[in-house]
Amino acid sequence: MKLSIAVVQFNPVRDNIKKNIRKLRRLLTGIKSDLVVLPELANTGYLYATPEDLLPLAEPQDGSGAFLTTLRELAAQTGGLIVSGYAEVAEGKLLNAAAAVTQDGVIANYRKTHLFDHEKALYSSGDTGFQIVEWQGVKIGMMICFDWIFPEAARTLALKGAQIIAHPANLVLPYCQNAMITRSIENQVFTVTANRVGKEHLDNLHLTFTGQSQVTTPGGKILYRGPTRKESVHVVEIDPERAVNKRLNTNNDLFEDRRSSLYEID
């Protein structure tokens, strides 16, 4: 079985959802793909001083806001599922979330489990747990950016059956792309990191996002690594069946060999 995946790397403009929507429409023109992965906070950009600054731009997960409505249209156009990071509002609280969107609407919503640095001053901690969506018979798990540094995130998704980990990101540290190779190998899954590019400044804080969006195979091969600074859309084809079997040789199965009772700490 073949599944096509489009990895979208762009520079979301802070405080300008209309412009970000226009950009995504342009980037996805002519793209047909079973799965499209967009960066973290693709609707709003990243740096905000206070929750009050970001709240008016955030959307409910029911898909009634401008950004998720557009993703629904774009899913109809690309012919598949779109996983995108976005700023979510729920009961007055802000969440750093990822939605899985088809032409029929939002089919799953994940709220970032591990908030990075000053995100803790903006967002409530994610309360959904790690989410899997089944699409065209393939299990796709979601995690967001800094979740990468906690191996438990990818492990939990893999134990729940994820064959592909869709990973919207706004990376600023230089380690993740290499770490995702290990996440692939240790879980025998595909990973798709859609990272943003560009710079943002707020007071004395200057961030440069690292690009290099990436797709890795269960064997740890880099199927694609994008440019560092440029916006790009790249489509790869994978066989998701390759992520089902966790057996490394006749004597080792990655999941059957786990000794979870010995991993507990009193």
Please provide residue 91's backbone torsions phi and psi, each rounded to the nearest 5 degrees. Answer: 50, 45
Q: Give the nearer residue to ligand ACM in terms of CB position, either 34 or 40.
A: 40
CB of 171 to ligand ACM, least distance (A): 6
CB of 154 to ligand ACM, least distance (A): 15
Q: Going residue by residue from 22 to 61, which x/- string records binding to ligand ACM, judged by CB under 6 A?
A: ------------------x---------------------
Site residues for ligand ACM, 106-135, by CB under 6 A, read 116
- Tell me if residue 112 is catalytic: yes
Whole-number Å distance between alpha carbons of 92 and 95: 10
**Residue 171 found at the interface with ligand ACM (CB under 6 A):** yes
# residues contacting ligand ACM (CB under 6 A): 7
CB of 97 to ligand ACM, least distance (A): 13
- Tell me if residue 176 is catalytic: no
- Alpha carbon of 59 to those of 95, 175, 236: distances in Å? 10, 31, 30
CB of 123 to ligand ACM, least distance (A): 11
Using CB under 6 A, which of the segments 22-30, 58-66, 168-176, 224-232 binds ligand ACM? Answer: 168-176
Q: Give the nearer residue to ligand ACM in terms of CB position, either 71 or 172.
A: 172
Whole-number Å distance between alpha carbons of 116 and 64: 28
- Tell me if residue 230 is catalytic: no
Give residues in contact with ligand ACM (CB under 6 A): 40, 116, 145-146, 170-172
Catalytic residues: 40, 112, 145
